[in-house]
Structure formats: C-alpha cells, structure tokens
Amino acid sequence: MASDRADYDDQPNPAADSAPPLDVGVRMKLSIMMFLQFAIWGSWATVVGNYLDHLKFSKEDIGWIGSLMPLGGMVGPMLLIFSQLADRFVASEKLLGAFHLLGAGCLYWVSTITDAGQFWPMFAAMSAYALLYNATLALSNSITFTHVVGERDFPSIRVLGTIGWIAAGFALDYVLGSKEKPVHTGNTFLLMAVGLSAVLGVFCFFLPATPPSGRKGDALPFVKAFGLFKDPAFAVFFGVSFVITIVLAFYYSFTGLYLGKSHGVTNIASTMIWGQVAEIFFMLLLPWFLRTMGMKGVLTLGMLCWGLRYALFAFSAGKEELYSMAFVGILLHGICFDFFFAAAFIYVDKKAPPDIRPSAQALFTFLTYGAGMFIGNIVAGYLAGFLTTKTADGAEVVDWQTFWLVPAVGVFVSMLAFVALFRNGRESR
C-alpha cells in the first residue's frame, strides 16, 4: 500500500500526541453513542436465555436462538452490503440511526411473543435483530474512528460502552427485578431495550456528520477491504484473530454454568460483572500500553491473559477452596477484552485507507464476533456434551478441567503463531 498508514508499525505514534485535543462536544456525543450502544445489548443478552426457559422453550430452541447474534455477524453478504452503504452512499450516522430504530421494532416484536409454541416467530424476530445490531457494531466503531485519534481517544470513548453494559445489568437486578420476582419472569427487560434502542436511533441523527467516504468510480469498498490481505502482517493478524476467537467463545458460553456447577456461585451475573469493572480500568490504560509496548506487544499480552484465564479455570475446577483462582480469571477480562478486541479495532483503523475503514471494521467484526464466535459456541457445546457423564443418581457432571484446558492450549498455540509470524512496519524491512 502506498498510503503512509500502511507504514504503521509497533512504535509510538508522535502524531497522536501532536494532534489537537478532541472537541468536547464531539467527545460527549460519541461517548453517549457508545454508552447506549452497549447498554442496549446488556439490557437483554444476559437474561434472555432465562426468559425463554421461563416461557418453556426447549433447551434446543434456546440454543438456536442464542446462536443468532454471532450468526448475524457471520452473514457476510448482509453485513458487507451495510458497510458498502456506509462507505459510498449514505452518511454513517443516518444509517446507524435507521438500523437502531428498526432494531427497536424487532425487539418489540420479540417482547410480544410469550408462548413457547411460537418458536419460528421468535427465531425470525431475533434473526432480524441480530443482523441489524451486528451492523451497528461496525458502524459505531467507524463513526468514532472518523472523528478521533484512534490510539489516543478511542479507549476513553469505548469505555463508556462498558459502563453502559454495567449500568444495564444493575438496572436489571435492582430496578426492574427483585429476589421475589426476577427480571426474566416478564418482558420488561425487553421493553427497556426497545426504549434505549429507539432513543439511540433518534440520537444518531445528531451525531457528528460522517459523510460517505467512497469516491465515485471506486471499486466496491468491501472488495477493496479484502485486498488488505495482500499485506502479510494484516493477513497474519486476521488469520490468528479468527482462530483465537473460536476458543474465546468458550468464556461467553459456559463461564456462568461453570461457576454455578463447579464453585457453587449463585449470584452469577453480579459476579461476572467484575470482569467489566476491570475492563474499564484497563481500557483507560490502553493508550499508555500502546505507547510503551506497541501494538504487537499489547495484542500478545491480551492473548496470553486469555490462556491464563482458562488455565486458572481448569486448575481450580471442582475445588471450592480455589474459587479465588477462578475469580482472578474473571478479573482478567479487563486485559483479555481490551488488549485483544479494543486494540484490534484500533489496528484495523490504522491499516485501512480512509475510503474503506467502515468495510475493514465490518470484515473484522464478521470474522471475530461473527464466524469465530459462532463456530466457537458450537465447538464448546459439543465438547461440553462429550465431557459430560451421569452419576448413579442421574446427575450430570462435566469434566471442567479438561473442558478449559482445550481452549487454553488453543490460545497459547495461536499466540505463539502470532509472535512468530507477525511482522509489521519497520519489523518487516
């Protein structure tokens, strides 16, 4: 690539320090956008499985519906068409607003389905919502990167998304629900998500103007985004990210069940939320780590902590006296998420030329939040089933130690491949 962005390396970026401070009004609008973006997701994602179980949906039905979010990110043609529109034809903030308003309608449709016999309407409504919401993930990132200096400003804005998720979780437990009447016994949490989605949909039209950047006569932006694979460093980055995300999905699918079955934890939601609290702390430190360690060092540390987390889960499995090891694994979420996913979005922004950045973000979302997570959920489910045995009284027991050692090995192998193969900027010369 002839662009100076292609010469990005793992060294500190003096341009980030010399750039003028981000306008306070722009920062406030982007921060509100991020807060609402993830508050919407946090409003329903943590309890929808319990809600479906309360409605007497079968476990198979719950599994299929639960797979729709990563599947929505995996449906390449739809996601790439969305990013093409953002690149060439429609202002990104208007497209984002339209998708959130349509998403509010889909979630309201979900809230009206209260019978387990209505699997297909539920499946259709959640499928439509998954497609729309996954598109907004890429769009919100691309809008933010358009107006900020990525490594300097993005972490302090993206952290508002984590705060939004935490705020939604506390609202579910302490405002909408109670011990006597848990929130998943009604549809109020869905109506909360509907309201937040509608508010964000309208608010998006007041975001900083982000006009389409693709020029008339250009090749389709998403086709050009695939051209980034010609850069060996970018190809290694995407390949390792895809493989490692498969094993990262184990955490999101089975940690709650593991904590309950292996350590007797009952307050699972409020326990796991400490991972998001740690995420806030490390997100704010991310710019410092990027300056001192470089992008390769930060990504490697993120991968290392994923492997350590799984090892802690494995070696404390079934030993309640070692619960503190598992809790440390939860706290590692701050480094795991920030130093891998957040840093990766910054890397993609730096490598992609301006006219295809939304498509590059969409491509990364497709491979990680989409295909990788979808495959990982399926693999984790089959592995958990394979490692499950029944006792004489019919109780099911999972070999949690083996279950967590499998992704731990997968992460460490991926990390070693990344360290050996990733050569970027001046390292490749």
Over residues 292-310, the mean pLDDT reads 92
Assess whether pLDDT exceeds 80 at residue 365.
no
Please choose, from the candidates 120, 79, 117, the residue with its C-alpha nearest in 3D space to the C-alpha of residue 99: 79
Question: What's the confidence (pLDDT) of residue 359?
Answer: 72
Q: Does some domain include residue 10? A: no
Over residues 384-392, the mean pLDDT reads 81
Pair (420, 308) in one structural domain: yes
Rounded Cα distance, 420 and 143, in Å: 33
Q: Which string of DSSP letters, residue by residue, matches 326-368? A: HHHHHHTHHHHHIIIIIHHHHHHHHHS-GGGHHHHHHHHHIII
Predicted structure pTM score: 0.71
Q: What is the CATH number of the domain that holds 331?
A: 1.20.1250.20
Name the domain count of the chain.
Answer: 2
Q: What is the pLDDT of residues 134-151, one digit of tens each?
A: 888 878 887 888 888 766
Please choose, from the candidates 58, 31, 22, 264, the residue with its C-alpha nearest in 3D space to the C-alpha of residue 151: 22
Question: What's the confidence (pLDDT) of residue 29?
Answer: 94
- 262 or 214: whose pLDDT is higher? 262
Over residues 185-202, the mean pLDDT reads 94
Confidence of residue 13 (pLDDT cuts 50, 70, 90): low
Rounded Cα distance, 337 and 364, in Å: 15
Pair (132, 251) in one structural domain: no
Identify the H or E element spanning 43. Answer: helix 24-44
Assess whether pLDDT exceeds 50 at residue 2.
no
Q: Which string of DSSP letters, residue by residue, matches 158-220? A: HHHHHHHHHHHHHHIIIII--SSS-GGGSSHHHHHHHHHHHHHHHHGGGSPP----PPTTPPP
Over residues 49-59, the mean pLDDT reads 74
Pair (203, 111) in one structural domain: yes
Pair (295, 376) in one structural domain: yes
Over residues 69-83, the mean pLDDT reads 62
Assess whether pLDDT exceeds 80 at residue 303.
yes
Please choose, from the candidates 343, 291, 341, 358, the residue with its C-alpha nearest in 3D space to the C-alpha of residue 145: 358
Average pLDDT score over the chain: 80
Structural domain range at position 253: 218-424
Over residues 305-313, the mean pLDDT reads 94
Q: What is the pLDDT of residues 219-273, one digit of tens each?
A: 455 566 777 777 788 888 888 888 888 888 888 777 777 877 788 776 666 777 7
Query: What residues are paired with 397 via a beta bridge?
Result: 389
409 to 97, 159, 249, 309, 379: CA distances (angstroms): 42, 30, 14, 11, 15
Pair (377, 397) in one structural domain: yes
Pair (195, 275) in one structural domain: no
Q: Does some domain include residue 329? A: yes
Lowest mean pLDDT among 66-75, 91-100, 164-173, 182-191: 66-75
- 77 or 374: whose pLDDT is higher? 374
Pair (224, 345) in one structural domain: yes
Pair (244, 128) in one structural domain: no
Question: What's the confidence (pLDDT) of residue 287?
Answer: 83
Under a CB-based contact definition with an 8 Å cutoff, are residues 67 and 49 in contact?
no
Please choose, from the candidates 9, 7, 128, the residue with its C-alpha nearest in 3D space to the C-alpha of residue 71: 128
Confidence of residue 1 (pLDDT cuts 50, 70, 90): very low
Q: Does some domain include residue 8? A: no
Q: Does some domain include residue 4? A: no
Rounded Cα distance, 96 and 98, in Å: 6
Assess whether pLDDT exceeds 50 at residue 8.
no
Q: Does some domain include residue 414? A: yes
Assess whether pLDDT exceeds 80 at residue 205.
yes
Structure tokens at 179: 């011990």
179 to 137, 212, 247, 273: CA distances (angstroms): 33, 49, 34, 18
Question: What's the confidence (pLDDT) of residue 85?
Answer: 57
Pair (353, 417) in one structural domain: yes
- Which percentage of the chain shows pLDDT scores above 70? 83
Pair (236, 280) in one structural domain: yes
Pair (100, 207) in one structural domain: yes
Confidence of residue 10 (pLDDT cuts 50, 70, 90): very low
Assess whether pLDDT exceeds 50 at residue 3.
no
Domain end residue (candidates: 149, 183, 212): 212
Question: What's the confidence (pLDDT) of residue 60?
Answer: 63
Please choose, from the candidates 73, 3, 108, 2, the residue with its C-alpha nearest in 3D space to the C-alpha of residue 354: 3
Over residues 48-71, the mean pLDDT reads 74
Question: What's the confidence (pLDDT) of residue 166?
Answer: 87
Please choose, from the candidates 213, 242, 253, the residue with its C-alpha nearest in 3D space to the C-alpha of residue 76: 242
Pair (261, 291) in one structural domain: yes
Domain end residue (candidates: 191, 212, 233): 212
Domain end residue (candidates: 212, 236, 256): 212
Q: What is the pLDDT of residues 317-337, one digit of tens each?
A: 888 778 999 999 999 988 888
Rounded Cα distance, 302 and 287, in Å: 14
Q: Does some domain include residue 12? A: no
Lowest mean pLDDT among 107-116, 222-231, 402-411: 222-231
Q: Does some domain include residue 269? A: yes
Q: Does some domain include residue 14? A: no
Q: What are phi and psi of 398, to 5 degrees?
A: -100, 135
Over residues 50-73, the mean pLDDT reads 74
SS3 61: helix
